[in-house]
Amino acid sequence: MKKKIIAANFKMNKTNEDIRKYFAVFLDLINGLKDKISAGDSDLDSELIFAPPFTSLCETLNIIEPYLDFIKLSSQNVYFEKSGAHTGEVSIDMIKSCGCDYAIIGHSERRNIFRESDELIGKKIGAVYNDGRIIPILCVGENLEIRKRNGQEKFVENQLAVGLNSVKGKSVSSLIVAYEPVWAIGTGMPIKADDGEAMHGFIYDYIKSGFSIGELRVIYGGSVTEANIEELMGKPHIDGVLVGGASLDPQSFYNIFKKGGRL
């Protein structure tokens, strides 16, 4: 069965000490559910993913080790080269050695602050696909000006076309697309669930037209909280969420997981 995704993106937040404090609380909350989940009495239909900063990947892995059957690790970025003179970058082997199963690629903050182009993001997707050990979470989404002139579909279509250029014709069954409209990120203004559903349906249709989609998942990000998670997850084409701000507090992220994961 295709699992829903509840993912936390810590962005540039939390030292290793903060991470230890966070998981002391979060795992305590999760312990109440762990037996239920392992015994199969829960209708858990979701994967729980954490994307801490690079500096805390290995620390997080050590802490979550006993929970790896249902808590997974993601990096917030990855470079396409295998090794060499690329100061400040991190390779697939490096994130893999800290236990990552996923990598966020092309987050709007990478695109806007660090000027990552669609072409660079496409190269990263290609490298991750060729390597085969990491599941990419490809982020796309329009800004407010584009949304105001109703240009979001064309814009996102182009991001997907260039981003997935190197995997043309292949199966994208393991791919996760995160639709994150820039105007909704960190603003407290999430998309209306119906508008989200419309964009997710569009993304499905577009990818279906050029790829074998298999178990493709399209998740939503942008001001997700425990107040809106249920409505968003109730939509047929919203396969999960990527949560920034509201994931930083363990109780709040646990509440999102509990409501969104239908426990």
Closest CB to ligand PGA among residues 127, 246: 246
Among 135, 216, 224, 256, binds ligand PGA (CB under 6 A): 224
CA dihedral angle for residue 152, residue 12, residue 81, residue 6, rounded to 10 degrees:
-60
Asked about 230 being catalytic, the answer comes back as no
Are 92 and 134 within 8 A, CB to CB?
Answer: yes
Q: Length of the chain, please? A: 263
242 touching ligand PGA, by CB under 6 A = yes
Among positions 15-34, residues that touch ligand PGA (CB under 6 A) are: none
Catalytic residue among 47, 180, 197, 226: 180
**Cβ within 8 Å of residue 78, ≥6 positions away:** 90, 91, 92, 95, 103, 105, 124, 127, 128, 134
Q: Which stretch binds ligand PGA (CB under 6 A): 34-42, 55-63, 242-250, 251-259?
A: 242-250
Residue nearest to ligand PGA (CB): 244
CB 71 within 8 A of CB 62: no
In angstroms, give the least distance from the CB of 11 to ligand PGA: 7
For this structure, is 107 an active site residue? yes
d(CA 254, CA 189) in angstroms, rounded, equals 21
Q: Is-contact 237 200, C-beta < 8 A?
A: yes
Q: Please, what is the minimum distance in Å from the beta carbon of residue 149 to ligand PGA?
A: 23
Site string (174-213) toward ligand PGA, x via CB under 6 A: ------x----xx---------------------------
Instruction: Give the interface segment with ligand PGA, choosing from 31-39, 82-90, 123-131, 221-229 (CB under 6 A).
Output: 221-229
- Please check whether residue 200 is in contact with residue 220, taking contact to mean a CB–CB distance below 8 angstroms: yes
Write the interaction track for ligand PGA spanning residues 68-107; mark x where CB under 6 A is met and - where it is not: ----------------------------------------
Contact segment (CB under 6 A) with ligand PGA among 87-95, 129-137, 202-210, 240-248 equals: 240-248
Give residue for tokens 């690079």. 54
3-class secondary structure, 18: helix
Torsion angle, CA of 56/21/4/45, rounded to 10 degrees?
130
Closer to ligand PGA by Cβ: residue 121 or 185: 185
Q: Whose Cβ is closer to ligand PGA: residue 185's or residue 211's?
A: 185
- Is 190 in contact with 223 (CB distance < 8 Å)? yes
Q: How far is the CB of 222 from ligand PGA (least distance, A)?
A: 5
Stretch that binds ligand PGA, among 27-35, 59-67, 79-87, 243-251 (CB under 6 A): 243-251
Counting contacts by CB under 6 A, is residue 261 touching ligand PGA? no
**Contact present, 6 and 47 (Cβ < 8 Å):** yes
Cα–Cα dist 216/241, whole Å: 14
Binding site for ligand PGA (CB under 6 A): 9, 180, 185-186, 221-224, 242-246
